[in-house]
């Protein structure tokens, strides 16, 4: 399956370590988010991965409707497809941090996945490679 690389989105399978790596930068539209999430989910299914790294460090803000989409589509489906560990690299932008917290609150409360939040990408990669 092909990796997805655009100006603001990168989704790739890291074969040596068996995880899908996702990174968002700058402003993304709702349509871009939906397309990226759909590609990401297909990649998770295709490679049957159990680990994901999501780098939100450079995202400026979630697009309108993005918080709800992550809550209602991404979290339920990622667990349905067998992912057990997710490393999130926290956005630098405070508004994006608030959006991330809103999108993740319900999943965190329900303990849907083993998730961990990082400021540094290197620490996130070190953690995810343990599993």
Written as six digits, the tokens of 28 are 């993304």
pTM for the predicted model, two decimal places = 0.94
Written as six digits, the tokens of 101 are 């917290």
Alpha carbon 99 to its chain centroid, in Å, reads 13
Residues 41-91: tens digit of each pLDDT: 999 999 999 999 999 999 999 999 999 999 999 999 999 999 999 999 999
Residue 110 confidence class, pLDDT cut points 50, 70, 90: confident
Residue 85's CB: how many other CB atoms inside 10 A?
Answer: 18
Return phi, psi of residue 29, to 5°.
-85, 165
**Distance of alpha carbon 123 from alpha carbon 76, whole angstroms:** 26
Residue 39 confidence class, pLDDT cut points 50, 70, 90: very high
């Amino acid at each position: 399956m092909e990796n997805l690389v655009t100006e603001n989105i990168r989704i790739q399978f890291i074969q040596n370590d068996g995880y899908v790596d996702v990174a968002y930068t700058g402003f993304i539209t709702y349509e871009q988010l939906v397309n990226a999430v759909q590609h990401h989910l297909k990649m998770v299914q295709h490679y049957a991965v159990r680990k994901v790294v999501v780098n939100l460090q450079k995202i400026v803000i979630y697009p309108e409707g993005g918080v709800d989409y992550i809550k209602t589509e991404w979290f339920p489906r990622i667990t349905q497809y067998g992912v057990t560990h997710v490393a999130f690299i926290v956005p630098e932008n405070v508004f994006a941090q608030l959006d991330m917290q809103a999108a993740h609150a319900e999943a965190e409360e329900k303990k849907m996945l083993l998730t961990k939040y990082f400021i540094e990408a290197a620490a996130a990669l070190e953690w995810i490679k343990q599993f």
